[in-house]
Structure 1
Amino acid sequence: MAEAQEQKSSPSPLEIIIIGAGLSGLSAAVSCALAGHNVLVLEGARELAEIGAGLQITPNASKIFQHFDIYDALASKAAEPSFLQVRRYSDGKILSRTDDFNGDMRQKYGAPFWDLHRVDVQRTLAERAKELGAKLRLGARVADLDFRKPSVKLETGEELHADLVVAADGLWSKCRERFLATKGTADHPLPTGDLAYRIVLKLDEVDDPELRDWISKPSCQFWIGPGSHVVAYSLRDGQMFNMVLLVPDDLPGDVARQPGSLDEMRALFATWDPVLNRFLDQVKSVDKWKLMHRPELDHWISDKSTFCFLGDSCHPMLPYLAQGANSSIEDGAVLGNVLGALQSKNQLPEALRLYECLRKKRGEAIVRETFAQRRDFHLHDGPEQQKRDELMLSRLGREIDCKFPSRWQCPEVQPWLYGYDAFEETASALRDSPLRTGATASL
């Protein structure tokens, strides 16, 4: 197990403003504070009660929690799935199953696969950032940015100055809008063609003994079907059950989220596994969320090396590999690790260049892999689907030794995702190419 990172005293501390107190922004706040820099996080919301429910924290991120010294604080709030299985949509037939999934993850990657409530992770990161001296201002809405100074102007008229501004303001990033405007371009979130019904059930509100057993004994469950799939897993040590139903998008183009109809949702899954439908019968209300993505940016850092992106502001992801949160946490860790190597502010351009080099290619590759996972899980009944199911069934109860339709179990994709070590990645890059005094970034 990785050791907690000790807070450094930087020989050249930066003034860093992070815009957004989501998982990427707070991860960056902890990491940059550990590196000895002065951090201010600006968050438009008035409280950290982020909308959302479950997160699947894979070993590449839980390993970072060990370095951040928040592992123990989150362990008591986690559910650790003892097995993972993929079922056929119509009858619940098991197509693939990995037993002792929790032990397998720890053995392979030295860190657990956890299912956590988003708010638990967000608040734990925020408390750790504040313990390390970072400041968090809620209700601080950004009106404009100056990328040369750099400075941030709030809606109140207050202007804040820094050495580095970090955009961690998510899919609908105002920072991205301003950044692209300086280059005479623009882009907007694009619909993926899918939407998500997001559901959380509480164990004490479920009467059905079989369903209670599913909730109280954590596992990770998938149902895959034509144009849709469902993922379900326990939270908070088996006291809650998180379900996400991914279906074709029928929301109006200008609507990102709206209350969903229970009758409509149940009708969509009426021909699916009876056990799944018994869960859906427990649902009292549901929201529909349009799933969006954005084009790849040419660069994640500004020409003057005063500004950078991380998280959903530069690589929003479909939830089909559960890497949106995990890769955002990686971004924050790597940014702080790179900035921890600074000996003078003159090295900031090269440090940011290294951050972009380490993170951009991986982040964008994961985005593309999520679309590939959607394709394999959403095959319509027919020859391709039959070939997929035959392959999965041929490895049921055996070692998976081939490129596998479920990337969650694939011996090629899983190690690439879960085996990533943000700290070793940065340390290795810095050993190979130490930051030079007076270096500049050429974009």
Structure 2
Amino acid sequence: MVTPQTQQTSPSPLDIIVIGAGLSGLSTAISCALAGHNVVILEAAKELAEIGAGLQITPNASKIFQQFGVYDELEATAAEPSFLQVRRFCDGKILSRTDDFNGDMRRKYGAPFWDLHRVDVQRALADRARQLGAELRLGARIADVDFDGPLVKLENGEKITADLVVGADGLWSKCRERFLAMKGQSDSPLPTGDLAYRIVLKLDEVDDPVLREWISKPSCQFWIGPGAHVVAYSLRDGYMFNIVLLVPDNLPANVARQPGSLDEMRQLFSSWDPVLNRFLDQVKTAVDKWKLMHRPELDSWVSEKSNFVFVGDACHPMLPYLAQGANSSIEDGAVLGNVLAALDAKSQLPQALSLYEQLRKKRSEAIVRETFAQRKDFHMVNGMEQQARDELMLSQLGTQITTRFPSRWQCPEVQPWLYGYDAQKETEAALREAPLGRARQARSVDECRR
């Protein structure tokens, strides 16, 4: 059993409203509740049935689950990939492979790489938030946010005030819309040019013995090809298999999600690895097509009065190509709660939110840019650049990778930067360097001298 890490508790509790009960909102709620603050989570959905399936939790987030006290519960439902490999799209030729991937992650970063069902993670976080005293209100749809109060107005007319409002309402954020309107600005989610098919297969519904072995023995598999790639991995300790197909976007401009055709999906991959096609032949039910979107960087995540702050996809939505959307959202929630745990007085809130933004904004936006770079390297069309990429990958096959690598999942430069991040240590180090009370103490000394 993993014992939850201790967290400082603020002697000056805040009343905090978290808008959104996705992974960023629930992580924020848990971290702030652990810090001794009073938390209300407002979620528009009438039940927690988050859409989606597979979720790759990398060590930078799984170590946060120890702090949150949900590690043991999630470990019981996790699939831990024993190897990771990248294949050429047409014939399945292995371009790169990392054996003992699970052991490698634990040795390097002190925490596991898990493949989990998104619903399992959301439910565990929601239960933990409630256990810590956070109030979760479902069916609470936001009509407006008043950044002077701050005050949140619900569609039923109810008004709720707080010391701090946290915008955790995702890509299509109402909070972001109101935040920018306050400044006379606006933006909308932008298409990336890609869409995703998401598939989940169950072990007991697959008869093919080769495919059953793939599912029951967890690994992380990639196929990379011209303008597209595929990632596949096991869930729930090898009883389910998650496949995500990333392809050029052909949805209408104003459509974010639409039922997909199995025939169209199979045709797109008809020339790809026969093993992948055997998996696709197992798909019997309809699949949805999801347009992949991003948004411009915000100038600031914090309101002028320091009574509102963003976390997660509302401020830094990410392409799924590094699996960091969920992980960085969990980081956001952990860091915000860790900073707010250090509050001695409500007057320090501006300093606290400024420190949170300093710790999170640069890193998150750098990850966003890195996801686009990963897409470029995985989606190369056949030609000289693609051949050079493949030759580089093959040159490192069977050896320890020693150079900047096209697969950032294995790259000795990018992987430590992503997976080695420790939200608690980062916050503690920043607070040692710049304690929240320092500015207030300096002002008091100046006043005494005068």
Correspondence for 1:269: 269
Provide the residue aligned with 2:50 in structure 1: 50
Task: Note the alpha carbon deviations across 1:198-227, whole angstroms, 9 max, x for none.
Answer: 000000000100000000000000000000
CA distance in 1, matches of 2:19, 2:5: 24
Alignment check: 8 A CA contact 2:88 2:224 kept? yes
Matched with 2:183 is 183
Does residue 1:354 correspond to 2:355, yes or no?
yes
**Partner residue in 2 for 1:93:** 93
1:184 and 1:222 mapped to 2: Cα distance?
Answer: 44
Q: 1:369-417 CA deviation, whole Å, 9 max, x = no partner? A: 0000000000000000000000000000001000000000000000000
Query: How far off its partner does 1:11 sit?
Result: 1.3
SS at match of 1:270: coil
The equivalent residue for 1:77 is 77
Distance 2:438 2:348 in 1: 6
Question: What residue number does 1:204 align with?
Answer: 204
SS of the aligned residue for 1:12 comes to coil
The answer (yes or no) to whether the contact 1:350–1:439 under 8 Å persists in 2 is no
Tell me which residue corresponds to 2:382.
Answer: 381
Structure 1 residue 58: Cα displacement: 0.1
**Structure 1 spans left out of the alignment, 5+ residues:** none
Deviation for aligned residue 1:2: 7.6
Q: Show the counterpart of 1:22.
A: 22
Counterpart of 2:433 in structure 1: which amino acid?
D
For the residue of structure 1 that corresponds to 2:224, the secondary structure is strand
Q: Is the 8 A contact 2:2 2:72 kept in 1?
A: no
1:438 Cα deviation from its structure 2 partner? 6.7
- CA gap of 1:289–1:439, structure 2 versus 1, over 3 A, is farther
Corresponding residue of 1:33: 33
Runs of 4+ in 1 over 6 A off after TM superposition: none
Contact 1:258 1:288 in 2 (8 A): yes
- Give the conservation status (yes or no) of the 8 Å contact 1:5–1:34: no
Gaps of 5+ in 2: 442-450
Q: How does 1:399-438 map to 2 (within 5 A)?
A: 399-436=400-437
Opposite residue 19 of structure 1, the aligned amino acid is: I
Partners of 1:120 and 1:7 in 2: how far apart? Answer: 25
**3-state DSSP class of the match of 2:210?**
helix
Provide the secondary structure at the position in 2 that maps to 1:31.
Answer: helix
Contact 1:344–1:437 (8 Å) recurs in 2: no
* Structure 1 residue 436 displacement after superposition: 2.2
After superposition, where does 1:5-404 map in structure 2 within 5 Å? 5-6=5-6, 9-284=9-284, 285-404=286-405
**Mapped partners of 1:376, 1:13: distance in 2:** 47
- Displacement, 1:9? 4.5
Give 1:393's aligned amino acid: L
- SS of the residue corresponding to residue 126 of structure 2 reads helix
- Summarize deviations over 1:300-324 as a string: whole Å, max 9, x none: 0000000000100000000000000
Aligned 8 A contact 1:2 1:67 in 2:
no
Give, in whole Å, the separation in 2 of the partners of 1:2 and 1:148. 42
Distance 2:437 2:11 in 1: 15
| Match of residue 445 from structure 2 | none
Q: Decide whether aligned partners of structure 1 residues 3 and 432 sit closer, same or farther in structure 2, where only a CA change above 3 A counts.
A: farther
Equivalent residue letter for 2:47: E
Q: Secondary structure at the match of 1:180?
A: helix
Partner of 2:447: none
Cα distance in 2 for residues equivalent to 1:9 and 1:308: 20
How many Å separate the matches in 1 of 2:118 and 2:81? Answer: 17
Share of identical aligned residues, percent?
79
Separation (CA, whole Å) in 2 of partners of 1:150 and 1:3: 36
SS of match in other structure, 1:398: coil
Q: Is the 8 A contact 1:347 1:437 kept in 2?
A: no
Name the CA shift for 1:439/1:138 in 2 (closer, same or farther; >3 Å).
farther
What whole-Å deviation, never above 9, does each CA across 1:94-122 have from its counterpart, x for those lacking one? 00000000000000000000000001000
Question: Do 2:2 and 2:71's aligned partners in 1 also have CA atoms closer than 8 Å?
Answer: no
1:270-311 Cα distance to aligned partner (Å, 9 max, x none): 000000000000012211000000000000000000000010
- Matches of 2:34 and 2:10, distance apart in 1: 9
CA distances 1:49-105 after superposition (whole Å, capped 9, x unpaired): 100000000000000001111100000100000000000000000000000000000
Letter paired with 2:365 = E
Whichever residue aligns with residue 335 of structure 1, its letter is L
SS of the residue corresponding to residue 91 of structure 1 reads coil
> Aligned-pair distance for 1:8?
5.2
The answer (yes or no) to whether the contact 2:172–2:189 under 8 Å persists in 1 is: yes
TM-score (norm 1): 0.98
Asked whether the equivalents of residues 151 and 160 of structure 1 are also in contact (C-alpha less than 8 Å), the reply is yes
Aligned residues: 440
Q: Aligned partners of 1:323, 1:3: CA distance in 2, in Å? A: 25
For 2:69 and 2:11, locate their aligned partners in 1 and report how far apart those are by CA, in whole Å. Answer: 23
- Residue 342 of structure 1 contacts residue 351 of structure 1 at CA under 8 Å; is this kept in 2? yes
Deviation at 1:3, TM superposition (A): 4.8
Q: CA RMSD in A?
A: 1.2
Query: Quick one: distance in 1 between partners of 2:47 and 2:236?
Result: 21
